Amino acid sequence: MIQSQSLFYRSIKLFYPFALLLLLSILGYWQVALLQHPLKWDLIDQAYPWKYLIGECLQNHLLPLWNPYQHCGYPIHADPQSSAWYPVVWIIGYFWGYNIYTLSLDFVLHIFLAGVGMFLLGKKLGFSQSVSLLMGIGYMFSGFFVGNAQHFMWIISGTWLPFIIGAYIDLYNKRKIRQAVIFSLFMFMIVTGGYPAFTMTLLYLLVILFVFFSVEIIKYESLRSYLKFVRLNAIVLVLSILNTSVMLTSIYKLLPNILRAEGVPLVQAFYGPLSPKSLISFILPFGAINHDMSQFDTDLTMTNIYFGIVLMVFLILGLFIKKPIIIKIFLYWGIFMLTAAVGKYLPVREFLYHYLPFFKFFRFPSLLRIFVLISFIIVSGFALNSYFENKIRTTKLLRYSIAGIFIMLITIVAINIHGKFLHLGGYISGGGLFTFSKTSTLPQQIFFHGIIQFVFLLIIAFLLFKIKNKIKLFKLLILASAIDLLLALQLNAPYSVYYEQNTQKSILEFTNQLPKDFPLPSNKQITENYDRSSLSFGPLWKNLNIFHKQIAYDGYNPLKLKNYEYLSDSLPDLLSATIKNQPVFFAKNIIVNDSIKNYFKENAFTPDNVFLHRDDFNKVKLQDQNQGKEDSVWFLNFSPTKIILKTHCYSNRLLTFIQNNYYGWEASINDKKVPVYTANLSFMAVVAPAGIHTVTLKYKPKLIIAGFYISLISLTISLLVLIIQAIRKHSQFFLN
């Protein structure tokens, strides 16, 4: 009986941090978690439609390979932002499909997992459970997740970063194959679901940790131990490559077909910094967001770097106490990332752009602040842990830390409200609080939140210097920190997290009325299918053709195939003429590409002209292309990866399908393979012979499908290894 009670209490102690993190994630984002209001901007304009399409593919037993409804078709499997290979998307998409409700729950799930990841990272670093819990709360409610809630790929990256860092520390500490397998699985999650810039930057941090751990082993252990560590890292590398084969092969084939493979211009690499004025969000996150963001010189989503006033107090303390080398590494890394996150305001971002691989491929320097947050929270956790384990005497330093924040707070508030008309009572009573206010001013917001933070600092000071019982003190600090972070989140959320004027229920009712699965495309001209007001509903106004199942020439996605981007940017008249056709059409005039310049000068592009490369033109050898009265083509079947057409021609005709010609597309007529030509620089064309025939177009990228099966086999073996080891461990436990 006593043993069973002991086991019960141990179980509660083990699981209560996870239960608390889950409860807080629901409470903090309750407008989303309780399915009230929809998430904002890119998340609902990009992530939602893409996940919706991926889910429909999976439910129709198709691999999510091609998106025919944007930019005249592109390989969604190769788009790093689509999450086409991300396991969470597969599970939700296959079993339930994506709608506004499952999308919201998916978001909250990742917020919860982010807190879990930071909690476990704290444990891997040797911190107490209570300290690690406070770190998890600070992380999942940090300014990164609040500010960038619209960027689902960023949220996914932020979720898995602590897991990966913790797994690598665990690999060094335990040096077992199990840790190598776990690490490679976490890498698979961030590569398939996250934004590439985070993975690229993470690799540099892992290299730094590898060098540090190598030095430690060589210095204090044997050569044999070091070789074992190197072998484990080699296994990690091989497993990570095998697990992510499907993504690596997809990107390998994509890179030659996009212009961005050469990097973005430096001016774009500076876009979206954590501007100097945004740094007040370390203390006053509500003072770094407003309906008018002109004075911040950055995007509204890039200004928040808050992680809680309690952790901030101990961060300052952590700067001045003695630290182990690994904590110093995180501190210096965080400071370095902060100097890069400010973009053009310091030379660091430009240096990285010019001299380090990967850093010329992304915009938004402010995304680097996630590494600042992780590092600073680790330093705060170390200081907290040292304080509560009585490893240091810090009363004097704590007083200085709190006093320093008091001074910064008063200075920021005084500078921003000096000479300003506040009228705070009218602001609060007029509904400017916890809403997206178009009338509130930054001085009002800074003053209001300044008062709140002043009160919290007084409470923290009272707790630290008056409560002697450490257990009671820590519980009260966790409570104070949770309230502080929840309040800051709720003040900022209407600006960066959710649409308060729309409901999830109304969006669900709207999308439920739209076509399901993959109906035959309409016979309308492609030019009629674009994101316009007649398609939109509430906050849904981009990428709507995915829901309406219409082949479209536009779309909200930075990924464009090189030929299509050249066509839309340099030859817009040719693109405009092409999309005045139905999705599939017969050409009347076939012209060599060399003549495009002449047609461009004379503005002579017409819908019935089709241009072919000279080699293809010579192979086709079609002369009379005047369409007979009864020449026709119609769809028999349509899906993202297979299109079946029926043609009826009185002579051989060039049949053009307004989908981009990309690696993996192949065609057959009456089950006999035929060449696929590139029409008008970007689209697919085949020669339809005289008579009645069945034309089939299939998207079968063999290398990517092979990569998928390699990933599937590798992941399956990895999971089996973990399961077998877990069974053995529990078997030994019960036998003993």
Q: What is the DSSP string of 654-668?
A: EEEEEEE--TTEEEE
pLDDT (0 to 100) of residue 627: 57
Is pLDDT of 582 > 90? yes
Asked if 49 contacts 152 with a C-beta cutoff of 8 angstroms, the reply is no
Is pLDDT of 2 > 60? no
Structural domain count, the chain: 1
Asked if 83 contacts 54 with a C-beta cutoff of 8 angstroms, the reply is yes
Is pLDDT of 388 > 90? no
Is pLDDT of 733 > 50? no
C-beta neighbour count of 101 within 10 angstroms: 15
Cα dihedral 570/573/576/577 (nearest 10): -130
Strand partners, 389: none
Choice between 562 and 602, residue whose per-residue pLDDT is larger: 562
Within-domain flag for 39: no
DSSP element (H, E) containing 669: strand 665-669
Within-domain flag for 574: yes
Within-domain flag for 326: no
* Per-residue pLDDT tens digits for 460-505: 999 999 998 888 999 999 999 999 999 999 999 999 999 999 999 9
* Per-residue pLDDT tens digits for 617-652: 999 877 556 655 678 999 999 999 999 999 999 889
Asked if 114 contacts 521 with a C-beta cutoff of 8 angstroms, the reply is no
Q: What is the mean pLDDT of residues 378-394?
A: 87
Within-domain flag for 600: yes
Asked if 190 contacts 167 with a C-beta cutoff of 8 angstroms, the reply is no
Give the lowest-confidence range in 114-128, 161-175, 608-622.
608-622
Is pLDDT of 313 > 70? yes
pLDDT (0 to 100) of residue 734: 44
* Per-residue pLDDT tens digits for 174-185: 999 999 999 999
pLDDT (0 to 100) of residue 729: 76
**How many whole angstroms separate alpha carbon 537 and alpha carbon 648?**
40
pLDDT (0 to 100) of residue 300: 94
Nearest CA to 39 out of 136, 146, 192, 139 is that of: 146
DSSP letters of 604-662?
---TTEEEE-HHHHHHH-----PPPTT-EEEEEEEETTEEEEEEEESS-EEEEEEEE--
* Per-residue pLDDT tens digits for 138-157: 999 999 999 999 999 999 99
- pTM across the whole model: 0.96
**How many whole angstroms separate alpha carbon 418 and alpha carbon 377?**
33
Nearest CA to 446 out of 431, 461, 424 is that of: 424
Name the percent of the chain lying above pLDDT 90. 84
Is pLDDT of 731 > 90? no
Q: What is the mean pLDDT of residues 515-528?
A: 94
Within-domain flag for 395: no
* pLDDT averaged over every residue in the chain: 93
Tell me the pairing of strands 589-592 and 609-612.
parallel
Q: What is the mean pLDDT of residues 438-459?
A: 93
Which stretches of 232-349 are assigned E, i.e. beta strand? Answer: none
Within-domain flag for 663: yes
Within-domain flag for 406: no
Give the lowest-confidence range in 52-61, 82-91, 122-131, 468-477.
468-477
**How many whole angstroms separate alpha carbon 297 and alpha carbon 284?**
18
pLDDT (0 to 100) of residue 626: 61
Angle formed by the axes of helices 177-193 and 196-220, to 10°? 160
* Containing structural domain, residue 616: 562-700
pLDDT (0 to 100) of residue 628: 57
Within-domain flag for 638: yes
* Per-residue pLDDT tens digits for 231-258: 999 999 999 999 999 999 999 999 999 9
* Per-residue pLDDT tens digits for 167-223: 999 999 999 999 999 999 999 999 999 999 999 999 999 999 999 999 999 999 999
Cα dihedral 502/505/510/511 (nearest 10): 110
- CA distances for 100 relative to 36, 430, 507, angstroms: 10, 31, 7
Is pLDDT of 427 > 70? no
